[in-house]
Amino acid sequence: MSEIYQMAGHLIRRLNQISVSVFAERMAREGFDFTPVQFAALSTVDANPGLDQATLAGLIAHDRATLGGVVDRLEHKALVKRCVSRTDRRARELYLTAKGAKMLALLKPIVADLQADILIGLNEKEKFQMMKLLEKATSAGNELSRAPLLPARVS
């Protein structure tokens, strides 16, 4: 057996593949055209109405260029709207639309439910431990990321 099967990077990449596959399959089964990043963006805009794209990118640890396309697709689906900032005319604030709020309400239970399939094979105690270890490792390595998670700015 190749040594890669004992390497954290390989196993994490595989778990990410599994996670994205489970998400895509469940969304398709439920009749939704949605990606994990779109869900993260929609959830974060809901929790932080009026934030700008750069802040959104930092809050979900995604690169700004890719996130621009994600927001474009969400806007095209009429789930978010961009408004000119009242404090900086160059900036655009993001808000959930009524349709976006309804969509998010439909998606949240589906996404919550599919989490169990991502860590299939682990019992509840192991899932709790895995989540704590993932949180610890991602927090410690945050600054090593090309798109680190950035804390929300306090206004």
pLDDT digits (tens, 9 = 90+) for 10-26: 999 999 999 999 999 99
- What is the three-class DSSP state of 94? strand
- pTM value? 0.90
pLDDT (tens digit per residue) in 102-117? 999 999 999 999 999 9
pLDDT at site 3? 93
For residues 44 and 23, give the distance between their C-alpha atoms in angstroms, rounded to a whole number: 18
Residues 52, 71 contacting (CB under 8 angstroms): no
Which residue from 117, 134, 122 is spatially nearest to 27, judged by alpha carbons? 117
Long-range contacts of 144-149 (CB under 8 A, 24+ apart): 145/61, 146/63, 147/57, 147/61, 147/62, 147/63, 148/58, 148/61, 149/58, 149/59, 149/60, 149/61
- Give, in order, the Cα–Cα distances in Å from 60 to each of 40, 66, 89, 136: 7, 12, 24, 17
